[in-house]
Each structure stands twice: as C-alpha cells, then as structure tokens.
Structure 1
Amino acid sequence: MCSCSIRCCFLYSLIIFSFIYYYNDVVVDNIVFEEHHLVEKYSVDTKGCRMLTMVPNDHDLMFLWRGLRRDFCRSNLNLTSFSNCTYNYLRTEVNMEFAKARYGVETLESFKCMYYAMERHTDFDNRYLYSREFELLTDGNNTIEPHADIIRAECFINATSIYNGVHFYVHPTDEWLRTAQGLPPLKLASDVGSLSVLIVGLDSISQMHFHRSMARTANFLLSLPHVELRGFHRLGDDGFDSLMPLLSGLSGQELKDVSANLTSLDSCPFIWKVFQKAGYETGLGEDNIDKSLFVKGFRKPPTDFYLRPALLEMWLKTRTDGLFGTHCNEKDNYAMVLREFLFKMLPHHTEHRFFTFLWWTQGIDHLFNYGRKLDQPFLKMFKAIGRSGLLKNTVLLVVSNHGLNKGRFYKTVQGKVEESQPLAILCYPRWLEERYPQAIGNLKSNNRRLVTAFDLHATLHNLPNLTSLEDEQLQQRRVDIWTMGKDIPRGISLFLPIPDHRDCFLAAIPTANCLCQQPRNVSTSDGYVLRAARLIIRNLNKMIHTHTPPCKTLYLDRVLTADKWRRIADDHQSEFRVRLIATPGEGQFEGIVRYTGYKLAVDGHITRVNDHRNGSQCIRNYLIERYCFCP
C-alpha cells in the first residue's frame, strides 16, 4: 500500500511538473510573449552607445489607425490676399447663383464690406490704424494701401456678419532699418560662399511615426540628397527644453535662467541673430498662440518676417474652434496659415540668403492619426519649394522635439520608446557633395551616431561661411576634438565625425531620455533568461527539422551564462546574451535575444561554442551539422 502511494505521488508530481514546463515553454512563451523578426539590429552601434531599432508598422499598432473626420474650416465667401513689389491686393470671388440662393440677394451691392488695418504693437496686442470700405467682386482684386501689413476683412448682409477673416502681407526687408540696426547689406541668393536655411518643425512626431503617418512626404524628402539622423535624441520634457538647444545652443533650463529676470526674450542668443549679422533675411512663424515656444514674447520683432502679429489678430478677433484641437481663420486652419506665410516669403527668399524657422503644433501634438491629414499638404508644400529652385542653395532641416507623449499610443511600449526618438532629416544641395566631399562624408557617417539638437545648432554655424567646410579646416577641428578625450563639447558640427566613444553623459542627454543600452548583471535562473534560452532552442529546432534525415529534437538542459543589456531609465527594451547546453548531445550554443515589451526576437546568428564531433554524421549540410544530433 505504501509503495503504491509513493508511486502515485511520483506519477502525480511528474504530471504536474510536465504541465508546468509545458505552460512555461508553450503557453506563456507563445501566447503572452510574441516572437517577431528583426529587420535591422541597431540604430547606433558605437563604443559609447548601442541603441536598438524598433519595427515602425508593428501590427499591434493597427488598432490605433482610424480615419479622422474631415476638419474643413468653412467660409461663406472666398477672399484671398497677395502682393507685388508695390501694392497689396484683396481678391474676391463670389458665385452669384450661390449668393442668391443662400442670401436672397440680386446684386453684390447688398453686401457691405470693410477692412481694418492693423500693425504690431507688442507680441500680445496690435495697434489699430484705419478702416476702409471695399467692394465685393465676382472675380477681381481690391487694392489695399501698401503700408498695411495686417487687415481684418468683414462683410455684412442686413447687419448680419457673413465673413470675418484676417489677411496679411509679406513685404521686402527694410534695408534702411537694417543699416540703422548696424546689420550688413543682404547677401544675394547667388552668393557662393554660403547656404540658406529652412527649418520645418513638427511637434510630437517621432522618426518612425513620421514614416508611418506621413509616408508620401517622407519619400519625397528621402529622394533628395539627405541624411536621416537615426541616433537623434530628445533633450527635454517639452518643446521648449527640446528645441532651445537647436535655436540658442543653450539647454532649456539654461535659457530659463538667462531670461528669468527679463521681461522679454530680445537679448537671448537665438541662432537667427548669427544669420542676421551674416547678411541673411530671417523669418519666424508658429501655427499657434496658446502653445508658443516663446511665452515671454519679444519687445521688437525678432526677425524680418514674423507671423505672430497676424496670427494674434486671428486668435483675438476671428478664431473659430475646429475639430481635433485646431483653430480656423475663415476657410484656413492655422496650419494652412503657416504654410501660406512660407509661400508669401518665397519670392523674397529667392532673392536673398535667408534663415527661416517654422513650427507646426496643432493636431499633431496629441493625435496619433493627425499626421495623415498633413501628409498631402506638406508633400505639396515641399514640391512647391523644390519647383521654386530654392533647394539648390538651401539646407532643409525637418525636425521635431520628441515623439507623442499623450494618448493610447504613448501608453504602449513602442510609444514610450519613440517618445525619446524625435525626427531629424537634413537635406542639402547635391553640389555640396562635389565641393566638400569630406564634410558630406562626415555628415553621412553621423547618421548612426549619438546626436542631439546641440549638434544641429553647431552645424548651422557653418552655413553662413562655407570655408569652414574645407578639408584643411575640418582636419584641424577634428584633431582638436579628439585631443579633448572625454572633455568633448556637447555640441559638435555634423560636418565633423562624432567621436565613437560619445555616450549620453558626454552628449548632455538626460538619463530619462537616453536610449543607449548599458550592461547589467543577471542570474541564469531569471525568468527572462530562461525564456530567451527556450526561444533559442525553438529556433534551432526549426532549422534542423527542415532537413532530412531529421535530427533529434533538442531540449534545454541548463543555462551556463547570461548577460543583460538595458536602458538606464527603464526595461522597455533589453537584450540577453545567453549561453546554454542542449540535450541530447550536450551541445553548447550562444545567442542574443531582444525583448521589447512582450515581444522577443533572436538577434543575429546562433553560434555553437563547443565541438560537435561525430554527433552530426548523418547530415551533409555544413550549415546544419553544427546544430544537429543524429538519431
């Protein structure tokens, strides 16, 4: 009876143990944890930083894709504005059949229209100048007095407002004012010793999400001579902290300290001042008032072309709230207003060297799908810039501050990693490769180095004077940097090779934002280690079972050693190097397994560490024999 009970207990124990092993090896590994395949291993792989890649269109994100309702801003009348060298115009186009059906009018005289001219007073209010009546025309232009930069047009029928919209004009740079400010004459666009700069900024869009949601725009940019900075890191928690290193060379906190006792930002060292002193005309525009990067504002207009006064008039007098947190000025949302600002600057930019910074926020700063709505308009915008010939002598930088940090996507592992991977694509004229091959060679080699906005700032300083890109100067500057060792500056021009030993500390990247992997100790009995070992065994069995005669199925005997690499701040991504013994045959194998949340993948080849001797004599395939144990 006693021996029977012992046998029963042993049998039950064996069944329970088998169930537990099956549960761990099959149920958990294949249901809770999902195996996937890597397209490429690392975005950065240097002595100082190893940064893992991710899959941009993982099927787990498909549940987030959905169509957005059309967020057209509506207008009852079609009024547009434009100017030439002498006059400003307000163009009106009225469909009389529509007007008759909608308003019951027979002639355009039934409409009473006025425009009110404004000018900038401060960054927080405008000054009223005068008002004039104007006529609606079925298809024609009303001449607006030439010194009006901003007008608000309003039309009524029987004292009921049917149109209320702001229009603005972009006039040539005032050369007399530049002279009075002690600035040099403007450089012509034909100047061979410099390049113009256009920075297009997109709030809260990561490298991957740009390709995911704005694919057509991305493909167009990648068709130009370009470098996409795969190791570009965020530097702060918000747009200000992330972008001030680009625009000023200072960290967000440093600029806050500098401006703490100031009433405005006029004296801060913004990069456009460097270009102004080099003979460039400058432009600055954002598509919002309430989320501006420059909260304190400027006492004087900071640049030659400045959108804020016109946008402020829209915000205070004509704003209607659209869908998805956007705002409208009659038929245009503010993103389109900023695009119009760029188009109105283009005739001036084709005449002179320029530096322009434009920043888009509305919609894309919090909605996963909103980039898709901007894809076609941005594609048209970049194509129009290309047709203008501007890109032949311009460096185009498309950049963001960080990835999405709101919504359902941000709560995923992929979202949390992408938050620290902002977009940075730098497009340059093709002739630059021929004239400065070493500089462009360095730029290309930096596409997989650890870089930040501090480096972009240092790069911009080279563009007003291209002699800094000549081989002799680059070689001397390179020697200077290498002799610094661990004391390298946090901002290094991308026309120089970024040192291989640079890590997040040397690049001034906050620990919470650092995506570089660091080695950590881990036990061979750790659950993730054992799961990685079982995945290696499964992959070996897949290989050997595809050949005949079949090899014996391998099982995990034990793990010999394990190493772990992970981010400093969290475990969203990690890698394990595992050496194990498989049975039968006592083969020792080593492989690397990557975890991204609940996804795992074998990274690279699985190697056999010990000699396979005569255990694989039944196999004639040299690729398989090292893994095989014959029956």
Structure 2
Amino acid sequence: MSLRCQVLKQRIQCIFFGTLIALLPGPSASIEEPSASTKEAGQQYYVYNAKCQIPFVNPFTLDVMKNMKEHVFEECSEERDLIESKFDFDLRQYRVSIPANLSEAYLNSTGHQTITCSYQEIKRDMEAEVPDNAYAESKAYYLPHRMIVPIDTDFMITKCYMRNATTVLNEVQEDAFSFVQDKLPPQKIEHYMLEREQKPSVLIMGLDSVSRINFRRTMPKMFEFVNEEGWYEMQGYNKVGDNTFPNILAALTGHSEAGSRAICNVSEVNCLDRLPFIWRNYKQANYLTAYGEDCVELNALQYLKPGFLKQPTDYYLRHFIVALEDKFKLRHRFGNVYCVGRHLSFNYVFDFGLQFVERFVNETPIFGLLWSNSFTHDDFAAPAALDEHFLDYMERFEAAGLFENSIVVLMSDHGHRYDEIVRHGPNGFLEERLPMMFIYVPPWFRQKYPHLVKNLGKNRDRLSSNFDLYMTLRHLLQLDSQSMADIEPKAPQCASCQSLLFELPFNRSCQEAGIDEHWCSCHPTQDATNESFARPIALAVVQYMNDHLRKQHLTDLCHDYTLKHLDSLQLKMPVDANDEPRNANESYFVVNFKTNPNSAHFETTVLYKSITGGVEMNMDFISRLNSHAKDSGCVALEIPRKYCICKNSVRMEDQLHA
C-alpha cells in the first residue's frame, strides 16, 4: 500500500474515532500523569480528543538522563554584606545602615581604623535616544552609618573603603540596592482594606526555555511545590511563536508578532509604547505595576529592539540591570551572566519582586512580571542548580502573604530550542513546543468563584495557548463577566481564544487556539524520510530560503544555502476532517535538515503539493536547531538573524568546499 493510501485510510479512522471519543465524558485531569481515559493502545496523552493528540513524554528516559550534566548551585560571594537595607513601615521609608558588628569585624581582621562608604543614585536616562539601554548616575555622596533613603531614590550603588587616619587604602565592598518606594496615599490603602477580596493581585513568574517536561526532570522540589492545593497545571499549553518575544507578546498584548506589525515596527523606538500591554489595563484599574528581568542582552522585550521610550510600569528594573552589568564585574555560567558583582543576576530580579510584594500585597492590588533568563536560557540541565534556591524564594513570597490574595502564574515561553541532547532527541519537537504553565488560585477566590475554578480544572488537559493567558488576564479585571461574550476586547489575533477560567472546548484545534501549524503539537506524525519525494521537498525548501534572501535584499550580507543533509521528513497526520489541507493532493510535512555553509540546522513545516512538487512555507516560522550566535552577526533584525549565514562568518572547512 502506498504512503498516500495509508494516510487516507488513517485519516478516515481518525475521523471515525474522533466522533466516538467526542461522545465520551471528558477525562479527569491529573497533574503528574495523564488519566486512564486518555490512553489508547498503551500510549498516554496529556491532551486527547477528536482534534488534538498531545502524547505524554517520560522526562526520565535513559537517553537523556545518561547525558545530563550535574549542576549545583553556587553563590557569587561568601562575604557578609557591609550595608543593610530595611523598610521602616512606621516611617514608610527605607533605611540603610552599616551595622557596627560587621564593620568592626572587617577592621579587626586588617588592623585599620575606619570604614567609609559612598553611594550613587541610578536613574532612568530620559535624555537618551534609547532609554532602555541607558542609565543616569549621580555624583558620589557620603553614606553615613545610618541614613533614611530619600523617597525619590529607586536604585543605589554603594562603595566602601578601609582607611587609616589620613589615607583611603582600598575598596573592600561594592554593592547595589533597589528601593520599592511608597506611591500610595493613605486613603487608597483604607479603601483597599475594605474590598481586598474584590480584586485579586496578579504576579507572573517566568523562567525562560523551560518545557513542562524538563521542569519535572530538573526541578523536582519546585514541581512538588506547585502540586500543592490551589495550583493547576495547563498540560496542553502550546507555544505560539519561535522564541521569547512572540510568546510574551501574545500573553501580554493579545497580538501575534506578525499582527503587531500592523501597528508599528517593533525595531523602531516608541513602537513598544504603542502596543496595548495588559499592565496598562491593570494600571487603569488602580493596580500598582512592576516588571523586572535579568540578563541585559536577552531581555524578552528588548532583544534586538530599542525597548520602551517611556517607563512601562510603576516599578521597572531595566535601567538598574543595565547599570550593574556595565559597572560591576560579571561572571558567566550556563552560557549567560550569572553573577553581577557579589550577587546572582537572578537575585536582583526576585529580590525586587519580593520587595514589591512585601510592600504592597496587603495594601493595594498589584500586577507584576518577573522574568529570568540567567540559569535556564542556554543549558537545559541548569534549572537543577536553581531548584532549591527558587523554592526558597517561593517560601519567602508565601511568608510575605502573596498566596493569600493573589493569582500567581509560573510559566515559560518555550522549551529548549538548540540543545543537542533534548532538542535533537526523539521528543525534541514536543520539548520545544510545550512550555510549562502553572496557575495558582488563592483560597478566597476558590470560595467566591467555585465555577471559575472548576473550569480551570477542566482546562488542565485541553489545548491552550498564550492568547488564552491574555484573555485570562483580561477576565481577572472583569470578574462579573458571565461568558466570553462579556469580556472585551478579544485577543486581536485570536478571536476564538478565551479565558482559562471559562471552559475551553474539549475538541479544540491549534487553529482555534491561535497556534500556527508549524508550532502545533496536536498531530501524530509518520516518517516519510525514505520516500522518493523526500529529497525534492528538502531541495524545494532550500530554494525557497534562497529566494527569500533575495526578496529581503540580504544577499550582499548572507550566503546562499545548499542542502547538506535531510535528517528527517515527517508527515503530519490530521486527527480531524477540518484539519485536512485544502485538497487531497496537499499534505503538511515537518522537514528537519542541515545546510551549507556552517552546517546550519533547521526545521520547518511546509504545505507540499504533490502534483506540482511545490512547497509553501513561512520564514517567520522556521526553527533554527543549533545556535546562530557565530553565524548571523551581520544582521540586526530578529527573524533574519535566525537563518542568515553571514558571508564573513563562513567557517574555513565550508570555504574550502564552496
């Protein structure tokens, strides 16, 4: 039987079985493993219905675990802090001090007479053409041993020196502090205390590049924490774009990356200010807002972009991190900035977030986004080193009262996109496309809105996307809504997407969830690598890529491609009649291949037309499976940077065979 006949036969079987399964009661979700009703012929699924089948993946297979490096947590410094910062709740201002016992210990160990310290304020430089990539610093001021921090000082860098009676001898400690200053009039606090259970606070915590599979594998203590009462895992959460930006954009604005271009070019100054970020809506609803992220070069909304012209949230960490990475000694680990001076890059973000929560969660509704790249972006095993440290922060957030009144989202943007062990393994397609997402609902919300929480529970094993998260954030500002028809506006690029607090359709396709075919994890695949049409498809893809370079006027900078090797060709098997291509002579294939020069490794989804041998594909949705860091320095645009092989970056072995 030919491959096409096999496909048609299986499609008919899928349609029949899909009709049958739609009549069955929905499966009861389990956080750790799929339920028995989602198993067929020994295969387990996290999502299984007439339109979508996302299989369970064992995180602990031998092929991954035997090659997994052991990473341990490392502090950046063993020194004790010379300067302490505390908030005075009576005065409602911060105090910094140099405790005598700490300074005396330093002096006794060296035989010197005194320690003297100075400080500089760090502010956002509004005179800079690109404020998100700049900072302004004050002159150095003397820091007394006890000082009340001025109310307009948000960030401070300190330096302490040992000295004798006449001479400054040497610097002994450099440090940095953030101050989440008071912005609340007393009447607002009093009003909030009367209606605190009307508006839930919302805090999003993100770890870059962590799949739901790898989270279980590398962070068992955190996984145990999010298995506690009140947490719900979105087991069918599927990314909608390649890297961080399109996924975060969809979650925070409801726009796809392509859709945002109708408003402005994100590479131009002031574009991000014009996009409808959800924190503006929370600000209009009298929430205090905050956004903090580590690793200057990898920031979700600033990577290869000018960022925000105006400060986007009430409390904003960007210019402080820019200053610290510029002024402090950096230590790299796991492929990124790990230590900034004496502290973890990660700590600056979550200390800032903890201050924000401690200061305001009991006084006013808050909305915050805390995002970290430093541990997880480049090394799939590195989250293991963060596990216990992150759990410690979660327990400190718990002690601060975060989980009493707040909706908390622990999420990622995508799984690992390059790793040789995980991404190139048998489950790499799913590892990349299925990031983690856990949503916590506080006790009062569970009691007041049991119907919404029940819906959230039902949605755990249904297909969901970043656009659904956006609609959920919208819903939390409109909790009197009776249905999705009451929530406005809808996600601009996904009118059918909806709040996770309303029941998602059991039978839901990627198209209905705003997920493009290339990122869709719903379809089983059948290997077609050895079919006669496999290599012609790969050659057609490479030709399409070369034609695209010409259309984008990149041929002066970027080298043409030639096919080096077709690694695999997988036929995507529709599980529903409505998922069929436009006619019987068209099929979707996932093409995994390498090109010359530089052995660039790509994956893309194409619509193959068997009569003409032609392919349709979208270069926005091509995946680069090995790092492009050494290949694409000649281009600044984000999407071409993924696939351009700069002519001045061609490696010697490829030049010899050109």
TM-score of the superposed pair, with normalisation by structure 1: 0.69
What residue is the counterpart of 2:387 in the other structure? 375
TM-superposed CA distance for 1:153, in Å, is: 0.7
> Are the equivalent residues in 1 in contact too, given 2:287–2:366 (CA < 8 A)?
yes
What residue is the counterpart of 1:197 in the other structure? 202
The correspondence for 2:49, drawn from 46, 50, 55, is 46
What residue is the counterpart of 1:242 in the other structure? 247
Residue 320 of structure 2 corresponds to residue 314 of structure 1: no
Residue 440 of structure 2 corresponds to residue 430 of structure 1: no
Q: How many residues align?
A: 476
Larger radius of gyration, structure 1 or 2?
A: 1
What residue is the counterpart of 2:77 in the other structure? 74
Residue 475 of structure 2 corresponds to residue 462 of structure 1: yes
Residue 240 of structure 2 corresponds to residue 212 of structure 1: no
What residue is the counterpart of 2:264 in the other structure? 259
The correspondence for 2:118, drawn from 106, 114, 117, is 114
The residue correspondences of 1:515-526 to structure 2 (distance < 5 A) are: 515-517=521-523
| Counterparts in 2 of 1:57 and 1:156: CA distance versus 1, 3 Å | same
> Are the equivalent residues in 1 in contact too, given 2:71–2:384 (CA < 8 A)?
no
Per-residue CA shift, 1:311-333, capped at 9, x if unaligned? 12212212422322224233211
The correspondence for 2:106, drawn from 99, 103, 119, is 99
The residue correspondences of 1:348-387 to structure 2 (distance < 5 A) are: 348-387=360-399
Residue 507 of structure 2 corresponds to residue 501 of structure 1: yes
Residue 352 of structure 2 corresponds to residue 341 of structure 1: yes
Provide the secondary structure at the position in 1 that maps to 2:273: coil
TM-superposed CA distance for 1:394, in Å, is: 1.0
| Counterparts in 2 of 1:192 and 1:253: CA distance versus 1, 3 Å | same
Amino acid paired to 1:63: K
What residue is the counterpart of 1:442 in the other structure? 455
| Counterparts in 2 of 1:439 and 1:80: CA distance versus 1, 3 Å | same
Amino acid paired to 2:223: A
What residue is the counterpart of 2:61 in the other structure? 58
Residue 252 of structure 2 corresponds to residue 268 of structure 1: no
What residue is the counterpart of 2:654 in the other structure? none
| Counterparts in 2 of 1:477 and 1:447: CA distance versus 1, 3 Å | farther
The correspondence for 2:309, drawn from 289, 295, 299, is 299
Provide the secondary structure at the position in 2 that maps to 1:116: strand
The correspondence for 2:403, drawn from 379, 388, 391, is 391
For 1:431 and 1:38, the matched residues in 2 are separated by 42
502-511 or 445-454, which deviates more: 502-511
Amino acid paired to 2:291: L
TM-superposed CA distance for 1:421, in Å, is: 0.5
The correspondence for 1:287, drawn from 276, 291, 294, is 294
Amino acid paired to 1:433: R
Per-residue CA shift, 1:38-97, capped at 9, x if unaligned? 986111112211121111211221123332255321265513323335433234356568
For 2:49 and 2:194, the matched residues in 1 are separated by 40
TM-superposed CA distance for 1:564, in Å, is: 9.6
TM-superposed CA distance for 1:352, in Å, is: 0.5
The answer for unaligned runs of 5 or more in structure 1 is 1-36, 482-486, 526-562, 573-631
What residue is the counterpart of 2:182 in the other structure? 172
> Are the equivalent residues in 2 in contact too, given 1:188–1:353 (CA < 8 A)?
no
TM-superposed CA distance for 1:499, in Å, is: 2.1
What residue is the counterpart of 2:430 in the other structure? 417
TM-superposed CA distance for 1:490, in Å, is: 3.9
TM-superposed CA distance for 1:427, in Å, is: 0.9
Amino acid paired to 1:353: P
For 1:319 and 1:521, the matched residues in 2 are separated by 50
TM-superposed CA distance for 1:416, in Å, is: 3.2
> Are the equivalent residues in 2 in contact too, given 1:207–1:423 (CA < 8 A)?
yes
TM-superposed CA distance for 1:196, in Å, is: 1.1
What residue is the counterpart of 1:609 in the other structure? none
> Are the equivalent residues in 1 in contact too, given 2:523–2:572 (CA < 8 A)?
no
| Counterparts in 2 of 1:415 and 1:82: CA distance versus 1, 3 Å | farther
For 2:484 and 2:158, the matched residues in 1 are separated by 58
> Are the equivalent residues in 2 in contact too, given 1:45–1:51 (CA < 8 A)?
yes
Amino acid paired to 1:512: H
> Are the equivalent residues in 2 in contact too, given 1:234–1:513 (CA < 8 A)?
yes
| Counterparts in 2 of 1:39 and 1:387: CA distance versus 1, 3 Å | farther
TM-superposed CA distance for 1:123, in Å, is: 2.2
TM-superposed CA distance for 1:206, in Å, is: 0.5
For 2:378 and 2:450, the matched residues in 1 are separated by 41
| Counterparts in 2 of 1:395 and 1:144: CA distance versus 1, 3 Å | closer
For 2:412 and 2:156, the matched residues in 1 are separated by 32
Residue 327 of structure 2 corresponds to residue 323 of structure 1: no
For 1:236 and 1:360, the matched residues in 2 are separated by 19
| Counterparts in 2 of 1:175 and 1:53: CA distance versus 1, 3 Å | same
> Are the equivalent residues in 2 in contact too, given 1:459–1:492 (CA < 8 A)?
yes
TM-superposed CA distance for 1:207, in Å, is: 0.5
| Counterparts in 2 of 1:142 and 1:185: CA distance versus 1, 3 Å | closer
TM-superposed CA distance for 1:571, in Å, is: 9.2
TM-superposed CA distance for 1:260, in Å, is: 0.9
For 1:81 and 1:330, the matched residues in 2 are separated by 17
| Counterparts in 2 of 1:64 and 1:172: CA distance versus 1, 3 Å | farther
For 1:521 and 1:364, the matched residues in 2 are separated by 32
For 1:382 and 1:499, the matched residues in 2 are separated by 33
For 2:144 and 2:389, the matched residues in 1 are separated by 32
> Are the equivalent residues in 2 in contact too, given 1:285–1:306 (CA < 8 A)?
yes
What residue is the counterpart of 1:555 in the other structure? none
The correspondence for 1:512, drawn from 518, 543, 565, is 518
Per-residue CA shift, 1:142-194, capped at 9, x if unaligned? 44444322211112344533322221211122669x99xxxx99855843322
TM-score of the superposed pair, with normalisation by structure 2: 0.66
For 1:207 and 1:360, the matched residues in 2 are separated by 16
TM-superposed CA distance for 1:389, in Å, is: 2.6
| Counterparts in 2 of 1:569 and 1:271: CA distance versus 1, 3 Å | farther
80-89 or 501-510, which deviates more: 80-89
Per-residue CA shift, 1:324-377, capped at 9, x if unaligned? 222423321110111110111122122111111111111211112211121112
Provide the secondary structure at the position in 1 that maps to 2:439: strand
What residue is the counterpart of 1:625 in the other structure? none
> Are the equivalent residues in 1 in contact too, given 2:484–2:499 (CA < 8 A)?
no
For 1:220 and 1:271, the matched residues in 2 are separated by 28
> Are the equivalent residues in 2 in contact too, given 1:319–1:327 (CA < 8 A)?
no
282-291 or 148-157, which deviates more: 148-157
TM-superposed CA distance for 1:509, in Å, is: 1.2
The residue correspondences of 1:174-189 to structure 2 (distance < 5 A) are: 187-188=192-193
What residue is the counterpart of 1:535 in the other structure? none
What residue is the counterpart of 1:26 in the other structure? none
> Are the equivalent residues in 2 in contact too, given 1:167–1:310 (CA < 8 A)?
no
Per-residue CA shift, 1:268-292, capped at 9, x if unaligned? 1001011111111111110121111
Amino acid paired to 1:428: V
Provide the secondary structure at the position in 2 that maps to 1:236: coil
| Counterparts in 2 of 1:209 and 1:521: CA distance versus 1, 3 Å | closer
TM-superposed CA distance for 1:205, in Å, is: 0.2
For 1:521 and 1:402, the matched residues in 2 are separated by 25
For 1:521 and 1:209, the matched residues in 2 are separated by 25
> Are the equivalent residues in 1 in contact too, given 2:236–2:461 (CA < 8 A)?
yes
For 2:340 and 2:80, the matched residues in 1 are separated by 12
